[in-house]
Chains A and B, each alone.
Chain A
Amino acid sequence: GAVVSQHPSRVICKSGTSVKIECRSLDFQATTMFWYRQFPKQSLMLMATSNEGSKATYEQGVEKDKFLINHASLTLSTLTVTSAHPEDSSFYICSAKSTDTQYFGPGTRLTVL
């Protein structure tokens, strides 16, 4: 089946720094990727839709200047959390669309100290 990878799997950073998370579709091309955030004991929250070669579409309430998304190729999308703060600590998951199914990455645990 289709495989999506994320890097890094865990990252710890200091408050005020920026962190980049990569999402790759390993064996298929994805014109559309999605970024989700999962809060403890809650379901996933869609943050943005990433379209290759164009600007990402952000969900209401998500700060586009804080969560920068770049989808530069058909197999790679990146999420950069700028000027991270402790409240940004969370589990970030990406997915890539193949036909009518989304395939999820393993997630990135971000801890901001």
Chain B
Amino acid sequence: GDSVTQMEGPVTLSEEAFLTINCTYTATGYPSLFWYVQYPGEGLQLLLKATKADDKGSNKGFEATYRKETTSFHLEKGSVQVSDSAVYFCALIYSNYQLIWGAGTKLIIKP
């Protein structure tokens, strides 16, 4: 069945470091791909999305490119801030608009 695999956390970085959170997926069709973020004590927020192969989603300095050939949707940011500390979820939407989630990656940014 369809699945999403994220790198295990926590990921701990210093402020201004480069961030990559890996996400790979298996799907029998052509899903849309999403990154959601959950800040401490808050609900989930849509961070970015890509609806087809080679699309790049971007928001708040974060980027992710839908790579069909490698079935990946890695999240990147050039210079992280303490305020980026959160849990990041990779997800795909395939049939019936139900999301298939990754397990989430906790990101800790130290000043």
Q: Point out residues on A near B: beta carbons under 8 Å.
A: 1, 6, 32, 34, 42-44, 46, 49, 93, 95, 97, 100-107
Contact = CB atoms under 8 A, between A and B. Distances in A.
Contacts of A105: 43
Secondary structure call for the B interface:
strand
A32 B97 contact: yes
Contact of A46 (B46, B49, B98, B102): B98
Nearest to A46: B98
B7 interface: no
Interface string B70-111: 000000000000000000010001001111011110000000
Nearest to B93: A100
Interface string B30-61: 00101010000011111001010000000000
Nearest to A44: B101
Nearest to A45: B101
Nearest to A104: B44
A43 B49 contact: no
Given A32-B97, A49-B96, A97-B97, A104 B102 contact: no
23 contacts: A6-B43, A32-B97, A34-B98, A42-B103, A43-B102, A43-B104, A44-B89, A44-B101, A46-B98, A46-B99, A49-B96, A93-B44, A100-B97, A101-B46, A101-B49, A102-B46, A102-B93, A103-B46, A104-B43, A104-B46, A106-B42, A106-B43, A107-B44
A25 to B, nearest CB: 14
Question: Contact residue range for chain B?
Answer: 20 to 34
Secondary structure call for the A interface:
strand
B51 A43 contact: no
Most chain-B CB neighbours within 10 Å: which of A93, A100, A105? A100
Nearest to A103: B46
Nearest to B45: A104
A38 B32 CA distance: 23
A34 B44 CA distance: 13
Contacts of B104: 42-43
A105 to B, nearest CB: 6
